[in-house]
Amino acid sequence: MKIFCIGRNYVDHIHELKNEVPESMVIFLKPETALHHHTIPWTLPDFSNDLHYECEIVLKIDKKGKNILEAEAESFFKEISLGIDFTARDIQAQLKEKGLPWEKAKAFDHSAIVGDFIDKSSFNLADLNFTLTKNNLLAQNGFTKKMIHSFSGIISELSRYFTLEFGDLIFTGTPAGVAAVKQGDLYQGCIEGVKVLEFKVS
């Protein structure tokens, strides 16, 4: 099982972090040990003083594919959920400054929380709304129509370089509103008002 992540896929998030809009899709991976289901208690790691949440729509691949045409890409997943791509922002800044890879900041154990998966068939994937609340206050409010790269475009591009297999997960990018995680925080995530994610930080 592979965990693919798409970086810088919402312009408002790119601007909030003062990054440049990339010319091509930003892709990185997390190992299987990064995966953490939202019903299992989650603890802040001790190696970062500035850990950020990034809420994203997650696709679950349900059949094998390579060099997938964009027009056929939606047939490669049936379920969606929300996930949190945790980022050790302080470590990431140090690595970026030295031109080094980001794995220590992005791919550490339990850095990819996922919620419950739901059937995609009742949703308009091109105009999907998802939200994350932090301590019952709205933190992120995303719309898939604002993505630079669509779900189909992501799947097609990934499959040029990687064979997609049953159970692979794709984190599709985060909108604006990312911020630091604190002990005791309560997070809840919804897709079109349907709650699929809830966890408290210990």
Q: pLDDT-based confidence at 17, cuts 50/70/90?
A: low
Two tokens, residue 62? 């349900």
For the cut 70, the answer to whether the pLDDT of residue 201 exceeds it is yes
Which pLDDT belongs to residue 13?
73
d(CA 143, CA 155): 18
Q: Catalogue all structural domains in the chain, each as residue range(s) with its CATH number.
A: 3-200 (3.90.850.10)
Q: pLDDT-based confidence at 9, cuts 50/70/90?
A: very high
Q: Work out the average pLDDT over 41-58.
A: 97
Q: With beta carbons less than 8 A apart as the criterion, state whether 172 and 125 touch.
A: no
More confident residue, 23 or 144: 144
The pTM (predicted TM-score) of the whole model is 0.96
Q: Work out the average pLDDT over 24-46.
A: 96
Two tokens, residue 92? 């990431």
Q: Work out the average pLDDT over 177-201.
A: 97
Two tokens, residue 37? 């289901």
Q: Work out the average pLDDT over 70-95.
A: 97
d(CA 175, CA 36): 21
Q: What are the pLDDT digits (tens) for 126-160?
A: 999 999 999 999 999 999 999 999 999 999 999 99
Which pLDDT belongs to residue 108?
98
